[in-house]
Chains A and B, each alone.
Chain A
Amino acid sequence: MVHNLFHSLIRLLISVVGVCLLTMTVMLCIPGNPVFSVAERGMDAKELLRRQKEMSLDGPIEKLVFLGKKLFLFDFGTSKVTGENIGRELSQRLYNTTQLACLSLLFFLCMGVGSAFFSAWYQGRLADRLIDVLASWILATPIFWFGIVFIGVFSMYLGLFPISGNSGFASMILPALTVSVRPAAFLCKMLRQRLLEIYRERFITVAMAKGLSRFRILFWHVARNGLLPAITITGMEFSQLLTGAVVAETLFALKGLGSYIVFGVESRDYDIILACVFVSGLLVCLANSLADVLNQMVDPRLRS
């Protein structure tokens, strides 16, 4: 157990280092020089060169080390467009995005697992086939389509939820739905297939021969074996949730990580874009290893 945890930790560290390296490579490719971040009004070229020597930023290696230190301290500098501290702004926005992500995770699991079990219960019948078609259709639809339709139906026609902006819990529901619909369809498809595979196993035949009820077979024997992959898929789909957050936050005008990226893109502020991509890369790494560890804790077969 401890050995496995150690392994997960090492893998997490390696991927975090990789994310840092990739981000720094992109930073080096971007025109500009870190020394400009300390430049003040009225500084001439000589002064800048002296500062560059002082900060030991002559070669690409030194630059990489400098950038690495900054990333490690989450110091992304100040935005050239708004003049705000990017790190502070990011942490505020991260709070909103975390709320959105938690709510979407809840919707994602309820819809995905629920529809998969519903399909398995009615397997081969009309309801099952309808869910399959619906899931395929959802997987083929761009995320913003759902956002547009939800706004049209729930906000404009029925007037149930606010159209946009951060105004409490009600304003989070539609964005969270928009984010979670597509991953939920994916989870439903994968889980349904897994459940139907388990139905063909021998211990299910034995359970049926014992005369257990269909309910007990599905929700005890099949569920215990079938729900494990859901953890891995949740970890995998976390990056999809972040992608969805970019679209949903833009569409619903929420202040979060995703809309910050779009803001950075629109104002061509590379510091903001890089900071956001770096933080989301770290989040995805964390989510994946968390799924790894959870899997090991839940599944006795992976423990040894």
Chain B
Amino acid sequence: MRLFCLTALFLFVLASLFPHWFTDQLPKQQNLSRILASANEVHILGCDWLGRDVFARLVYGCRDTLMIGLSTSFFSIAAGLFLGTIVMFAGSFLNRLYQAFLDISQAFPPILGAILLASLLDASQTGVILALFLGSFASVARVLRTYILEIRTKEYILAAESMGASRLRIYAKHVIPNIFDPLVTLFFIQCGNMILAESTLSFLGLGAVDSLSWGNMVYGARQYLFSSISLSLWPASMIAILVLSLNRIRS
């Protein structure tokens, strides 16, 4: 299982860095004589409704998909850490306010928030990333806050405080290194969640129009669901493999 996940992840990273190593076909090259062609030697997974090579689209879409997952996950964790410092530095009023905000945001399913925002923002890759980030960062911030509060009660923090260390020093020297491990796990899991959320957004027609992401492929293939089901199954299965590898990588 671990070997499978590592290999898959390695291949995905390789495909997003050097897509031309994997295929000679171009993802946006249309060939109207090959519409919905089945698999053959040139197009190993066949062609879609515009005669574009499915395998090439899978390979080139890897970068966009990974990009959306990694960037939203990174931004949410950065924002969560930044707001987490409020817990350390601010007084009790601001603290309560932050807690109340996190509690309220729990009532909104992240994907609904993202749907709302994505319909307001423009349908570009940046718009989708922003919508996903704003919709989900509260749930990451909540987890980070519990980590930080837990660490704060530890005795070595008390010891550092009694030695007169400044709060900034405690935060940088003691808190961050001690939550680093769960932080990395959270990063990869959140990355997987965001890739799933992006695919759901795209599936509902709220994805980035210029993006090659796998979610977008499924959205386009939705109209051909009953005639050629493999068009939607391939990208959806790729998403599953990628997210599984991301979830499993730390364990």
Contacts and interface: CB of A to CB of B under 8 A. Distances in A.
Contacts of A177: none
A264 B205 CA distance: 12
Interface stretch (B17-25, B30-38, B105-113, B152-160): B105-113
* Interface size grouping (class) on chain A: 35 or more
Contacts of B247: 136, 139-140
B115 A142 contact: no
Interface stretch (B39-47, B50-58, B170-178, B224-232): B224-232
B203 interface: yes
B28 interface: no
Contacts, number: 130
B148 interface: no
Contact of A284 (B108, B215, B237): B108
Interface in B180-230: 192, 196, 199-200, 203-206, 215, 218, 225-226, 229
Nearest to B113: A277
B239 interface: yes
Contacts of A152: 229
A18 B204 contact: no
Given A262-B204, A265-B206, A142 B112 contact: no
A269 B239 CA distance: 31
A262 B116 CA distance: 10
Given A14-B103, A273-B115, A281-B107, A145 B204 contact: no
B244 interface: yes
Contacts of B100: 14, 18
Nearest to B196: A142
Nearest to A156: B226
Nearest to B232: A148
A159 B112 CA distance: 33
B57 to A, nearest CB: 17
A214 interface: no
**Which 8 residue pairs across A and B have the least CB separation, nearest first?**
A18-B104, A239-B109, A140-B244, A140-B243, A145-B236, A141-B240, A243-B111, A285-B107
